[in-house]
Structure 1
Amino acid sequence: MHHFRQALLRMRQGDSDRDIAAARIMGRPKAAQWRRLASEHGWLDPALALPDDEAIAAALGSPRKASTTISSLEAQRERVSGWVEQGVSGTAIHAALKRQHGWAGSYSAVRRLVADIRSQLPPETTCRLDFEPGEAAQVDFGAGPTLVHPDGQPRRTWAFVMTLAHSRHQYVEFVWDQTVATWLGCHRRAFEWFAGVPRRVVIDNAKCAITRACAQDPTVQRAYAECAEGYRFKIDPCPPHDPQKKGIVESGVKYLKGNFLPLRSFRDLTDLNAQARTWVLDEAGVRCHGSTRRSPLALFALEAPLLQALPAQAPDLGTWHRVSVHRDCHVQFERILYSAPFALVGKTLWLRATDAAVALFEDYRHVATHPRGQRAGQRVSVREHLPPEAQAFFGRDRVWCTGQAERIGPACQALVEQLLADRILERLRAAQGVLALLKPYGQARLEAACARALAHGSAHYRTVKTILATGADLRCDTPAPTPAVYGHTRFTRPATELFAELTPTRIPHPQQDLLH
């Protein structure tokens, strides 16, 4: 439009079309055409005011010529328009037309039609979000390199990235998984890295943070809600399918993948994280950021005092899980069994797991707390959680039997110790049976029965029970009198007398001495 106004001004001054073309304003044919059009509108009169741009544009009309070429896909325009509005790519549209509608044309025809349809759609607009110092941080996961896991198998790592929205300073940590426990631990270490907490954390709708994604009413993981409460920050999940709301950290993850990971080698996860921390401080933190035109560390020096202070005592971060109490009075978590009161068998409880302990809750009521198990298959039990009969069964061990027998009397203690000392047969139940006779017969009779059984050399449960059942422990038996004739045995000689008769020259023979 500027060229047309300049040409019209020179025409009013008396310049010819050749002069206008020499000034490189427009060519002679175009100048001649513009002179005729200006003359028709009376714009060549120097006494009149120059027309405005809108009047000139209306006189010139549309500069584009209508295309006379009709696309071979014109019959499919409506269908293709629907696919384009849904975000389907051109190659997928071309394949669908060939597969579903038998179209044999080239991809170029599809590309031209898609371009024409998109040119008629309203343009996409966006706006940049600005954040005050200490206002927000954005968090995201990105794929990392494949390393050898401690179990010996190669496994992909994941990069946890938290970026302060104002300064663009980052915290980067590579982890093996994206579990809730890992998510919470990364948040704790990130806040300690920044030595402060932002007022708001913008996240994606990952399952470790959001259990139900929704633009208006998302449901937050119970453990993550406790983390936010403990560190005093607000959780701000992005609407579903709208990752641009956290575009700062998205760009940070892309920058990490493009500038840190290539052309580097890592021994293990520890070496990977050590190199990442050095890269953040020595390279990423001192670069001139493309958006702020300042280095992240320089801006972080201004933002750090405006972050919220860390709590005096770090919150006890734990993960919540739904578990069922099995018939053996135990719940299972990560292949480790933890006991629960027998009255809760068949019910579903909440289990809260931290690094050191596991706690069980029935709704809001605390049920039990156990130390965290260390190996798969381990059984962490409290005897009081078992039914009374099971507690009695497991409580009557060897130590219990020995203590009970000692309180009854020395004879009972000797008999029980003899039962438990058997090196061939396990006789714990026999000892328990002997002690069970205390209730129906009393302490005195049981002690007397044990003494009588020991006197007869029959330390058995059935012997003690028979003595008590027949009342033999109540009889006072006296030994039968021995006749005087048996006072001296005829064939019994002491060894001194036997060997005194032997002469030194004779070698004694055992059988001959016995006959003699």
Structure 2
Amino acid sequence: MDLIELFMHWDAGRSKSELAVSLGMDRKTVQKYLAPAEAEGLVPGLGLAAEEWKDLVAGWFPTAVDGRLRQITWPEFDARIEWVREQLEAGVAGAVVHQRLVDEHGVRASQRSFYRWLAATLPDAGRAGRAVTVLKPLSAPGELGEVDYGLLGNWRDPDTGRGHRVWAFVLTLPFSKQLFVFPTTRMDQLTWTNAHVAAFELFGGVPRRLTPDNLKTGVITPDLYDPRINLAYAELAGHYGTLIDPARGNRPKDKPHVERMVQYVRGSFWAGQSFSSLAQMRAEAQRWCRDVAGARRPRALAGQTSWEVFTAVERPALIPLPARRLEPAEWRTATVGSDCHASVKGVLYSVPYQLVGTRLDVRVSATMVEFHLDGAIVKVHPRIAKGRQTDLSDYPPAAAGFFTRDAAWCRENASLIGPAAAALIDGLLEEPLVHRIRAAQGIIRLVRTHRPEAVETACAAAAAAGDPTLKTVRGLLAAGVTVLPVRPNGDNGAGAYLRGPGAFTAS
């Protein structure tokens, strides 16, 4: 019956492509069945009835009239037809039914033979529970871009001698079937963003919707209704005004037009080619997209090439490129440590002390590092290659004082107290020990609780005693020293009888 329907539609003048789509057959299968009629010189428009076509089909394909006669194992299935019907109606898959027939009933027939028997004997029961393939409607020009990513092969860089695995980022526009290919030796966030930007610039516009694979550089959590998009990918979508609509996990039919394109790129662009550098490889890939992939004539385009349909119909329908090119950036997360710094790619950057212990999103571009909390920027630093980048205002006020009150600040404030304090602090700061600046700051801070004259007197007394330290100055102030002590002369105040040197040498 299927073949009779096929020939009647063909006789009515429908093309082989239309027959394949309408009857759910492969175009090669249609060609195979029509071959005997064409070999006999038959052409559409004969106007034959169904019975006439049945006689012709029976002559061309005798096994199609009653294939049961050729199946020597089918009686084994016939003897268990009711059991098979019960299994299928209970929702058991056909493959499982066949396995149970083999294991429990001793049937020796193959699974393929079982499926043929099922289609001829229990067609309705055999279709129960089968997945239905629904063709996706054709997308409008400029509406959709499908994204995939796969391995091309191994490549040795002639300059360095190092071997690399090369991957391909592939973006397909389903309407025109036009491809974009971006080879890379790694697929991190920056490369993922750069590949999209390069595709948009080659196309001269942006599709309204992108359906990528669930690569972590693009989609963190795949979900039909609420996917979680990587921040870098979301930033790209916002800048170019496109919608990210990721494919579901293990659902290749969500992006059918790009699904097999990696194999095509591997065979047509990559196989047997040699490249001098990664830059030359990418330039050659863009040429190949225009001149080779763009020269294909898919059946759906009615004889036109992909590039012709793209330039004439799809390119004008794309979202125009924005005036400013997106600066590619990488997004990371970092936790602010107790020292008010967060580590980003091996470099420490200061963050306001109020955020200690907080996990922040970090946008890392070629020149800047931005820290974000709940979508708001809380700190920005120029990017450096290594070391530490500190803004002293990020410290608590009390802790920041140690760094802002440097040696110059100490000398200036000591001179306001008096010459003795200035001299004492000058002596402290001459020593190459970092902790001495703390002692100098501590002496100056004494004027908060004591009169400047008292601090000056204590500094002078400490210097006179030969112990010019913060501890001594603080102790003297605690003891209430307000005047300089008089240094004893060594005779405990007794009167002196002075004689000249000659008194000791006279005989």
TM-score, normalized by the shorter chain, greater than 0.5: yes
Which protein shows a greater Rg?
A: 1
- Secondary structure, counterpart of 1:401 in structure 2: helix
Structure 1 residues 357-506: aligned runs within 5 Å: 357-372=368-383, 374-375=385-386, 378-422=387-431, 427-454=436-463, 458-472=467-481, 474-475=483-484
Match of 1:234 in 2: 243
Shift of 1:312: 1.8
Q: Matches of 1:56 and 1:249 in 2, distance apart?
A: 40
How far apart are residue 465 of structure 1 and its match? 3.7
1-structure distance, mates of 2:175, 2:208:
12
Match of 1:507 in 2: none
SS of the residue 2:148 aligns to: strand
The 5 A counterparts of 1:327-338 are 327-338=338-349
Moved more, 63-72 or 179-188: 63-72
1:257 CA displacement? 0.7
Letter matched to residue 261 of structure 2:
G
Distance 1:438 1:54, change over 3 A: same
Q: Deviations over 1:304-361 (max 9, x none)?
A: 3332211123456656555544434344444544433333334444444444333334
Please tell me whether the aligned partners of residues 409 and 447 of structure 1 are also in contact (alpha carbons under 8 angstroms). Answer: yes
Deviations 1:396-447 (A, max 9, x none): 4444434433443444333223222235896334333333333333333333
**How big is each residue's C-alpha offset from its partner over 1:355-402, in whole Å with a ceiling of 9 and x where there is no partner?**
433333443554323334534xx4444333333443234444444434
For residues 239-266 of structure 1, the C-alpha deviation after alignment (integer angstroms, 9 at most, x for no partner) is 5543234333234322211111111234
Are residues 167 and 488 of structure 1, via their aligned partners in 2, closer, same or farther at CA, if it must alter by over 3 Å? farther
Worse-matched range after superposition: 61-70 or 199-208: 61-70
The residue aligned with 1:306 is 317
* Structure 1 vs Structure 2 CA RMSD: 4.9
Structure 2 residue aligned with 1:344: 355
Structure-to-structure mapping, 1:44-443, within 5 angstroms: 53=50, 63-64=65-66, 66-67=68-69, 69-70=72-73, 74=77, 82=92, 101=103, 109-114=110-115, 116-117=117-118, 120=123, 121=126, 127=135, 129-147=137-155, 156-289=165-298, 291-292=300-301, 293-302=303-312, 303-315=314-326, 323-372=334-383, 374-375=385-386, 378-422=387-431, 427-443=436-452
Report if the CA contact (8 A) 2:454-2:477 is conserved: yes
Instruction: Give the partner amino acid of 1:66.
Output: R
One-letter amino acid of the structure 2 residue matched with residue 141 of structure 1 = Y
Task: Call closer, same or farther: CA 1:290–1:252 in 2, change over 3 Å.
Answer: farther
The percent of aligned pairs where both chains have the same amino acid is 31
Amino acid corresponding to residue 297 of structure 1 in structure 2 = W
Aligned partner of 1:447: which letter? E
Cα distance 1:402–1:255, how it changes in 2: closer, same or farther (>3 A)? farther
Q: 1:203 to 1:398 in 2, by over 3 A?
A: same
Q: What TM-score, normalized by structure 1, do the two folds share?
A: 0.66
Deviation (angstroms), 1:219: 4.4
Separation (CA, whole Å) in 2 of partners of 1:286 and 1:72 = 54
Shift in CA distance, 126/473, structure 1 to aligned 2, threshold 3 Å:
same
- Partner of 2:256, secondary structure, is helix
How far apart, CA to CA, are the structure 2 residues paired with 1:417 and 1:456?
Answer: 17
Q: How many residues align?
A: 434
For structure 2, the 5+ residue unaligned runs are 5-36, 38-47
Contact 2:410–2:425 (8 Å) recurs in 1 = yes
Question: Residue 66 of structure 1: SS of its match in structure 2?
Answer: helix
Shift of 1:118: 6.8
Quote the offset at 1:448 in angstroms. 3.8
Q: How big is the shift at 1:488?
A: 7.7
User: Do 1:396 and 1:432's aligned partners in 2 also have CA atoms closer than 8 Å?
Assistant: yes
